[in-house]
Structure 1
Amino acid sequence: MTAEAVTVGMTSPSLPEWIFPPARGYLAEDLDHLPDLPAHTELIDGSLVFVDPQRHFHHCVVHRLHIELEEFLPPGHEVIQEMSVKLAPRQRPEPDLFVVGPGAQIDGEVTCFEAGDVVLVAEVVSPDSEVRDRVRKPVLYAEAGIPHFWLIEEVNGKPVVFAYELEPVKKSYVITGAHHDRLKVSVPFDVDIDLTTLYRSRTR
């Protein structure tokens, strides 16, 4: 997800109070109570992270992957987009896509999901959030025990899915495959997606 971390500069009466975080940093629950917080704000290491405008590649891949995944979901599973996951007291990112299992609470009042309910999380790498998408977020997802992680990179204008599985002893991800034209996996459930349909660039 494209994002830019908040930096504290000179004080201004026009700035909201939450722009200056408490000494301990923010907690996951604070995101539900800060007034007029921009949509899709994430919490990483106690700091607020705001979303930048999406690129067309990012938008199309996330949107079409969501649709494709719906076709393969086992009973009781659901693909979630534009919502956050509470990983730890000071960690509440918003993955590009994730899948929750049958134990997840799903109703109109839910504002985020618990890490224990997530079976798969996917991030589409953006140029201005490469370190977060490739380094920090995978560590957080693994430490929270999310069993499967997909990192989606743009390679020569096409999406490539790098699939990872959690190694439970060290709580870190190990790569299980790099998928270029077709994503065919059996975990966390059977998936067979033609990746060439997720994005086609057009020029005038």
Structure 2
Amino acid sequence: MPKWLADTLEQLVPDSTWTVETQMTVRIDRKSAPEPDVIIASVPYDPDRTQFTPSEVALAVEVVADESQQRDREYEPFKYARARIPHYWRVEDEKGQPVVHTYELDETTLPYVATGIHRGTLNVAAPVMTTLDLATLVR
């Protein structure tokens, strides 16, 4: 699902000054370099790039699997919020259908604030205008 989601989001980014990547390192600090399943970065595509800084990342997406459930729900959002990544999406499986939990960073207090739980259709205005039929992510 991460690749399909990335391919779909790539069609939605406004122009070539944005990049959509899968499994790319985000260098938060010396000891922390997570690899979100999908990111949208506010920098042009560079085929030689191997990592991003948090200030370049507009959205981090984690697709929850059984083995990553606790990490994706509890640890990754905290880590990304502390790094000031403005948006976080968590994609979960609900009876065979994807559900997207969307969050936006509260710049004053720094935790993420839930902005929606999307079933059927994902419709958000940030970080890029997106209306997506979530059934297209399932094969």
Q: TM-score, normalised by structure 1?
A: 0.65
Paired with 1:105 and 1:152, the residues of 2 have a C-alpha distance of 24
Runs of 4+ residues over 3 Å off in structure 1: none
Correspondence 1:82 to 2:32? no
Equivalent in 4, 22, 40 of residue 99 of structure 1: 40
Map Cα deviations across residues 8-33 of structure 1 (whole Å, 9 max, x no partner).
xxxxxxxxxxxxxxxxxxxxxxxxxx
SS in 2 for 1:116: helix
Map Cα deviations across residues 155-195 of structure 1 (whole Å, 9 max, x no partner).
01111000000011111101001100001111111001100
SS in 2 for 1:90: coil
Cα distance, 1:106 vs structure 2: 2.7
Q: TM-score, normalised by structure 2?
A: 0.94
Paired with 2:136 and 2:81, the residues of 1 have a C-alpha distance of 29
SS in 1 for 2:12: coil
Ranges in structure 2 where 5+ consecutive residues have no aligned partner: none
Paired with 1:142 and 1:199, the residues of 2 have a C-alpha distance of 29
SS in 2 for 1:150: strand
SS in 2 for 1:153: strand
Which residue number corresponds to residue 56 of structure 1? none
* Superposed counterparts of 1:1-204, under 5 Å: 61-75=1-15, 76-102=17-43, 106-108=46-48, 110-200=49-139
Paired with 2:135 and 2:45, the residues of 1 have a C-alpha distance of 34
| Structure with max Cα Rg | 1
SS in 2 for 1:70: helix
Structure with bigger strand share is 2
Map Cα deviations across residues 77-130 of structure 1 (whole Å, 9 max, x no partner).
01011221011221101100001103x68341x321111100001000111111
Paired with 2:122 and 2:90, the residues of 1 have a C-alpha distance of 12
Q: What RMSD, in angstroms, separates the aligned Cα atoms of the two structures? A: 1.3
SS in 2 for 1:130: helix
> Number of residues paired by the alignment?
138
Cα gap change, 1:91/1:105 in structure 2, threshold over 3 Å: closer, same or farther? Answer: farther
Letter in 1 for 2:10: E
Letter in 1 for 2:3: H
- My pick for the range that moved more, 64-73 or 147-156, is 64-73
